[in-house]
């Protein structure tokens, strides 16, 4: 634990409360914070937008990628698709597939999280059978055998929690049933569909360990469990089961929307909600320096109210080290309170350590994105 140097102080003209009631002469607020919105922070009031740059040189810059166009994403095995953004804690990939897998896969490197961006499939695993569909998060514990049988073409965001396990966030004073009640989590069943796939046919398991794949051949199907008990399993939750925390007087930070906690990163989900209604409250995401974390946003559906020219299947990447925030049109629309409700669905991955992006990601980058904040 950090023993932060804390000394709440006020200097010059500033608001009493973060993200609300800004001074008329400086409507642009910027938060400089530590530990991903959980540590000490300072709130500056500027006369100009902190994103009002006119030129940018060097590798550190905001980036946008269109993951719809990743050429090597269409594979029968998830271990054949390339990493797009990655570090030692977290591996981010997209996987497109529409054929039944006649083999099993197993990730021996860490827990796998599947976000079903498009499609529908039957998932068979050590724990049984479960149907997965658009909008589902599916957490697959490390070294679980599994396969998919699609009934509709699949587009899946995959996030590996390398050498670690996913957990649920600490919900603190709002209680265990806030955001989503753990009772909505679904687990696979040893049902008739699962029992129907028992077989004595030769079956292969592709095991990924240290990013290398080994193939184990069995003279039978290893998914032959007749039952199980315990508190470890594949689990799924759909974004539609998420009931976001809200405040009509205060724009909550992204951390309030945390869905899963990994080792060295968090996954948050932005879902439709009412926009703040208090006249003095900020109504779009605040300009901020999240200086300990890189921020990745995967856009799933809806109208992305803080961004221009972003479509479903695209990703924005804002590395630590500079201020980012809403585009000018979105900021102006927030001031005018034009929209009363957000209708976006997006997955955010905030990583404690810097992400590297691969050549495959670079090949689908919009290099003009850095200039999208120009008025």
Q: What is the pLDDT of residues 210-257, one digit of tens each?
A: 999 999 999 999 999 999 999 999 999 999 999 999 999 988 988 899
The tally of domains found in the chain comes to 2
Work out the pLDDT band at 5, boundaries 50, 70, 90.
Answer: confident
CB atoms < 10 A from the CB of 343, how many?
13
| CATH number for the domain that contains residue 135 | 2.60.120.10
Q: Of 239, 272, 306, which closes a domain?
A: 239
Which residues is 212 bridged to in the sheet? Answer: 209
Rounded distance, CA 260 to CA 347, Å?
Answer: 11
**Element containing residue 262 per DSSP (H, E):** strand 258-262
Residue 304 has a pLDDT of 77
6: in domain: no
- Contact criterion met (CB below 8 Å) for 243 and 256: no
Which range among 70-84, 243-257, 301-315 shows the weakest confidence by mean pLDDT? 301-315
Rounded distance, CA 56 to CA 319, Å?
Answer: 14
**Same structural domain, 174 and 188:** yes
| Average pLDDT for 69-77 | 97
151: in domain: yes
Work out the pLDDT band at 1, boundaries 50, 70, 90.
Answer: low
Grouping H, G, I as helix, E, B as strand and the rest as coil, residue 326 is coil
**Same structural domain, 256 and 350:** yes
pTM, to two decimals:
0.94
**Same structural domain, 235 and 246:** no
4: in domain: no
| Average pLDDT for 194-219 | 98
100: in domain: yes
Residue 73 has a pLDDT of 97
8: in domain: no
Structure tokens belonging to residue 190: 């040893």
Q: Where are the alpha helices (DSSP H) in the chain?
A: 192-196, 328-336, 359-362
pLDDT in tens, 140-156: 999 999 999 999 999 99
SS in 3 state form for the chain? CCCCCCCCCCCCCCCCCCCECCCCCCCEEEEEECCCCCCCEEEEEECCCCCCCCCCCCCCCCEEEEHHHCHHHECCCHHHCCCCEECCCEEEEEEEECCCCCCEEEECCEEEEEEEEEEEEEEEECCEEEEEECCEEEEECCCCCEEEEEEEEEEEEEEEEECCCCECCCCHHHCCCCECCHHHCECCECCHHHHHCCCCCCEEEEEEECCEEEEEEECCCCCCCCCCCCCCCCEEEEHHHCECCCCCCCCCCHHHHEEEEECCEEEEEECCEECCCCCCECCCCCEEEECCCEEEEEEEECCCCCCCCCCCCEEEEECCCCCECCCHHHHHHHHHCCCCEECCEEEEEEECCCCEECHHHHCCEECCHHHCCCC
**Same structural domain, 310 and 359:** yes
Which residues is 97 bridged to in the sheet? Answer: 154
Q: Of 191, 219, 239, which closes a domain?
A: 239
Residue 218 has a pLDDT of 98
**Same structural domain, 213 and 254:** no
Work out the pLDDT band at 53, boundaries 50, 70, 90.
Answer: very high
| Average pLDDT for 65-88 | 97
285: in domain: yes
Work out the pLDDT band at 306, boundaries 50, 70, 90.
Answer: low
Asked whether residue 307 carries a pLDDT value surpassing 80, the answer given is: no
**Averaged confidence pLDDT in the chain:** 93
The residue ranking higher by pLDDT, 300 or 303, is 300
**Same structural domain, 193 and 261:** no
**Same structural domain, 144 and 175:** yes
| Average pLDDT for 80-84 | 98
349: in domain: yes
Q: Of 239, 274, 307, which closes a domain?
A: 239
**Same structural domain, 102 and 204:** yes
Q: Tell me 83's DSSP state.
A: P
Tell me the residue range of the domain where 204 lies.
Answer: 73-82+91-239
23: in domain: no
Residue 350 has a pLDDT of 96
**Same structural domain, 103 and 43:** no
Asked whether residue 308 carries a pLDDT value surpassing 80, the answer given is: no
**Same structural domain, 320 and 360:** yes
**Same structural domain, 49 and 103:** no
Residue 335 has a pLDDT of 82
- Contact criterion met (CB below 8 Å) for 107 and 143: yes
**Same structural domain, 232 and 245:** no
Residue 225 has a pLDDT of 98
Asked whether residue 357 carries a pLDDT value surpassing 80, the answer given is: yes
CA distances from 245 to 93, 144, 154, 242, 270 (A): 29, 33, 30, 9, 10
Q: What angle do CA 137, 357, 90 make, to 5 degrees?
A: 40
């Amino acid at each position: 634990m950090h023993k932060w140097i804390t000394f709440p102080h006020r200097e010059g003209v500033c608001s009493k409360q973060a993200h609300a009631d800004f001074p008329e002469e400086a409507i642009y607020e910027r938060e400089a914070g530590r530990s991903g919105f959980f540590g000490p922070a300072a709130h500056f009031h500027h006369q100009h937008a902190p994103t009002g740059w006119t030129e940018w040189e060097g590798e550190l810059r905001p980036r946008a990628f269109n993951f719809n166009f990743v050429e090597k994403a269409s594979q029968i095995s998830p271990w054949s698709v390339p990493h797009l953004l990655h570090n030692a804690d977290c591996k981010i990939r997209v996987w497109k597939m529409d054929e039944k897998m006649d083999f099993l896969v197993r990730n021996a490197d860490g827990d796998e999280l599947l976000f079903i961006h498009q499609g529908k499939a039957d998932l068979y695993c050590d724990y049984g059978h479960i149907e997965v569909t658009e909008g589902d998060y599916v957490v697959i514990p490390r070294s679980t055998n599994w396969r998919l049988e699609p009934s509709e073409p699949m587009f899946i965001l995959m996030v590996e929690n390398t050498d670690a396990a996913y957990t649920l966030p600490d919900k603190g004073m709002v209680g265990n049933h806030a955001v989503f009640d753990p009772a909505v989590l679904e687990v696979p069943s040893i049902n008739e569909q699962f029992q129907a796939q028992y077989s004595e046919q030769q079956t292969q398991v592709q095991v990924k360990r240290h990013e290398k794949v080994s193939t184990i051949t069995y003279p039978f199907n290893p998914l032959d469990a007749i039952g199980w008990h315990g508190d470890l399993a594949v689990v799924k939750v759909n974004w539609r089961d998420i009931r976001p925390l809200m405040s009509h007087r205060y724009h909550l930070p992204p951390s309030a929307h945390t869905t899963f906690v990994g080792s060295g990163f968090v996954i948050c989900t932005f879902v439709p909600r009412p926009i703040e209604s208090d006249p003095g409250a900020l109504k779009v995401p605040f300009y901020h320096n999240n200086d300990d974390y890189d921020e990745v946003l995967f856009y799933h559906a809806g109208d992305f109210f803080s961004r221009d020219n972003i479509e479903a299947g695209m990703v924005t990447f804002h590395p630590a080290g500079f201020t980012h925030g809403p585009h000018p049109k979105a900021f102006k629309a927030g001031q005018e309170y034009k929209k009363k409700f957000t209708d976006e669905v997006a997955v955010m991955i905030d990583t404690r350590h810097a992400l590297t992006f691969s050549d495959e990601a670079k090949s689908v980058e919009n290099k003009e994105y850095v200039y999208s904040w120009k008025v």
